[in-house]
Amino acid sequence: MVPSSVGGDAPIAELVPHIRLRGVSKVLRTERGAEITALTGIDLDIDNGSFVAVVGPSGCGKTTLLNQIAGLAEPTEGEISVRGRPVRGPGRDRGMVFQADALFFWRTVRRNVEYGLETQGLPRAERKEYAEKYLKLVGLMEFADLYPKELSGGMKKRCQIATVLANSPEVLLMDEPFGALDYPTKCQLQEQLLNILAREPKATVFVTHDIEEALFLADRIVVMGKGSIRRIVDVPFTKPRASDLRVDAKFAEQKAELWRALEGWLTAADETADA
């Protein structure tokens, strides 16, 4: 075997952190022309197959951070790279699941899932095979020929996730994907997501304001406040995680501890910042 120096070889992927952020800052301009610092000096490394949840109060820069990695906006300062390649604009190596209904409403569910595959120029038969694989994975196979308007909220989200996953991104970015769903649907989708990622490991950045969700899904939790990282917490639970974990005493303990600490981290850092 000839070792190739560039590309998707596992050894290299293991050496270089999958996603690397160095000194990332972002200044946003409001409609009135005022400047708002959304992110300051973010340093973060995310390994392949690792799941990072980003939590924090609204307006703390979580979504801005995700948009920078997705390449939807360029950082004012700093450098973001994915597998050693600097991020310049959006690309299919970084799939993003949006909070809103990002769906192609004029296409059936099946053709939604095929969108990225068409962009790649895959032949019809292969597209069909791939799309069906992911439709089955998210449990939408029997709804493949419906239009998105005929789906429930949870099914719409699944459709979006299938669309992103079928495109086989190296990095999965998720912006409060389950925020608008009812509790049982949310739990079910969280478990499905973990199952899928167990089969196809990806570096995942998952923005949420739900601490339970973060604890259940993530390997590490990044706590953000006012545009900077306040604390990074390692989640002690091993994977695979079953749904029983939610009612485990240790889980409740962790959740309570995190809750108590959270306020302290957020306010303490603000005081030092203000001083």
Partner 1 sequence: MSDLRGLRHGSGNRLTGLLVAAVLVAGWWLAAWSVADPSGRSSPLLPSPADVFEAIPRLSVFAGPGTPQTFGNAFWVLLVNTVASATTLFGGLLCGGALGIGLGLVLGWNARLRRMFEGPFLVVRVIPLFALLPLFLSWFGGARIGSVSFVAFAVFSMLFVNTLEAIRNVDPVARVFARTLGASPLRVYRTVVIPAIVPELAGGLRVVLGLAWAILLAAEFLAAQSGIGRIMILAQQYFDLSRMILIVLLIMLYTYALDQVVSVCVARITRWVPRI
Please give the residue ranges that form the binding site for partner 1 (CB under 8 A).
70-72, 89-92, 94-96, 98, 100-107, 115-116, 118-120, 147-149, 160, 163-164, 167
In the bound complex, what is the minimum distance in angstroms from residue 116's beta carbon to partner 1?
4
| Residues constituting the chain | 275
Task: Indicate the residue type of 236.
Answer: P
In the bound complex, what is the minimum distance in angstroms from residue 240's beta carbon to partner 1?
28
Task: Indicate the residue type of 141.
Answer: M
DSSP one-letter string for 79-104: EEEETTEEP-S--TTEEEE-SS----
- SS3 for 7-61 is CCCHHHHHHCCCEEEEEEEEEEECCCCCEEEEEEEEEEEECCCCEEEEECCCCCC
Give the residue with the Cβ less far from partner 1, 159 or 235. 159
> How far, in Å, CA of 212 to CA of 177, rounded?
14
In the bound complex, what is the minimum distance in angstroms from residue 108's beta carbon to partner 1?
8
Give the residue with the Cβ less far from partner 1, 117 or 224. 117
Evaluate whether 120 touches 92 at the Cβ level (below 8 Å). yes
Give the residue with the Cβ less far from partner 1, 95 or 225. 95
Give the residue with the Cβ less far from partner 1, 3 or 89. 89
Give the residue with the Cβ less far from partner 1, 26 or 94. 94
In the bound complex, what is the minimum distance in angstroms from residue 107's beta carbon to partner 1?
8
Residue 207 DSSP SS3:
strand
Give the residue with the Cβ less far from partner 1, 167 or 208. 167
In the bound complex, what is the minimum distance in angstroms from residue 92's beta carbon to partner 1?
3
Which stretches within 200-239 are classed as H helix? 211-217
Backbone angles phi, psi at 63, to 5 degrees: -70, -40
In the bound complex, what is the minimum distance in angstroms from residue 8's beta carbon to partner 1?
16
* Closest to 229 in 3D by CA, of 75, 28, 64, 56: 56
Give the residue with the Cβ less far from partner 1, 27 or 146. 146
In the bound complex, what is the minimum distance in angstroms from residue 180's beta carbon to partner 1?
14
**Residues facing 220 on adjacent strands:** 52, 234
